Amino acid sequence: MSTNVMIKEKRSTLGLTQKDFADALGMGRNGERTLRRWENGESSPSNLEMEHIMQFASKTPYINMNKQKFKFIDLFAGIGGIRIPFQELGGKCVFTSEWDKFAQKTYRLNFGEEPKGDITQIDASTIPDFDILLAGFPCQPFSQAGLRKGFADTRGTLFFEIERIICEKRPKAFLLENVKQLRGHDKGRTLQVIIQHLHDLDYFVDYDVLKAADYGVHQNRERIYIVGFDKKQVNIDENYEFPYPKPTYQPTRLGDILELDVDEKYTISDRLWEGHLRRKREHQEKGNGFGFSIYNAESSHTNTISARYYKDGSEILIDQGEGHNPRKLTPRECARLQGFPESFIIPVSDTQAYKQFGNSVAVPVVRAVAKQLINELNRLEK
């Protein structure tokens, strides 16, 4: 089989566009054009490049293990950041839902299964029985970036899809994750509605806001974690409080997760850099602190990465020294910033990768909460 056919078949098998595949392979600014020429037989990759192409995503890193201690489902799954720690702890994922087609692609190549689509169209009775429900339900309705519309936003009502499934399936426990602004949204009433609905199902519910930087993550990301246990299946007295993991305060250094050889395409243009500088001056003149944020290898951690990072990278720019414009993080650096393992496959374009990691979770924080949840479930289960 000729080289160009092998490359085309590899890409087709993965379900990737030429842009996706070129970015995923780290081919640089002209990568899509080069890949197109290879597929058309106009030029050929070197032996080393060909080996890199054929080895890409040749293994699925997070297939369900053979022996499972418990079963769970992964709702609003994104790219599976919440799933990874629970699978590490011996869990088997028996159902997944995620509507975004690009996130589905990343999920499929990492976990070996295609998530179901729109959760509102799924009959809860068709979901296999499980022990734990996981859901990083949409945060935009409660976040600053989403204008905090809450339940007035149709995405905000997706919590009630979680309630519907809990009511039907009665899991022993659940873990929900959202932005910290949920705690104060509508003067706390939105969170109280959520908790009351879960209480009405006869579940114990507790919540806390945890800061990723306190758990060895190179990012100042604060999120609310809501934990629940079914009172009919676990022994819980009225004074019980869930033991959220204590901060480790592990020192971090940004340089430890930065790549040494970064393609020039991640350096922001003169025009964009001048725009950042101008907007920062305008904000300073108005007396507020908005504008870009710049970091270097010695910084302990960064701002929170968001799904809008692909637009201009303003919340996290990396200093490249005097006389050089700063650069954006690479997708792999974004993965590290969220604590994803190095084996995690990034099979999409840079733009989609930025959105996916910006929407995802700090895996080490979830891992710490997951350990506590599993320990407590084993201890309290009737």
Task: Write out the catalytic residue numbers.
Answer: 139
Q: Nearest Cα to 328, choosing from 272, 252, 253, 271? A: 272
The letter for the amino acid at 238 is E
| Residue 287 DSSP class | T
Q: Nearest Cα to 304, choosing from 217, 183, 209, 246? A: 217
Residue 210 token pair: 């945890």
Contact 229, 313 (CB under 8 A): no
Contact 75, 135 (CB under 8 A): yes
Half-sphere exposure of 229 (CA within 13 A, CB side): 24
- Integer CA distances (angstroms), 314 to 138, 179, 338, in order: 23, 20, 18
Q: Which residues of 28-54 are buried (b: 16+ CB within 10 A; e: fewer)?
A: eeebbebbeebbeeeeebeeeeeeebe
Q: Residue with structure tokens 């939105």? A: 190
- Integer CA distances (angstroms), 149 to 98, 144, 145, 181, 198, in order: 22, 9, 10, 11, 21
Q: Give 224's strand partners.
A: 178, 209
The letter for the amino acid at 227 is V
Antiparallel, parallel or unpaired: β 173-179 and 294-295: unpaired
- 3-class DSSP state of 74: strand
- Integer CA distances (angstroms), 375 to 145, 173, 290, 378, in order: 35, 12, 42, 5
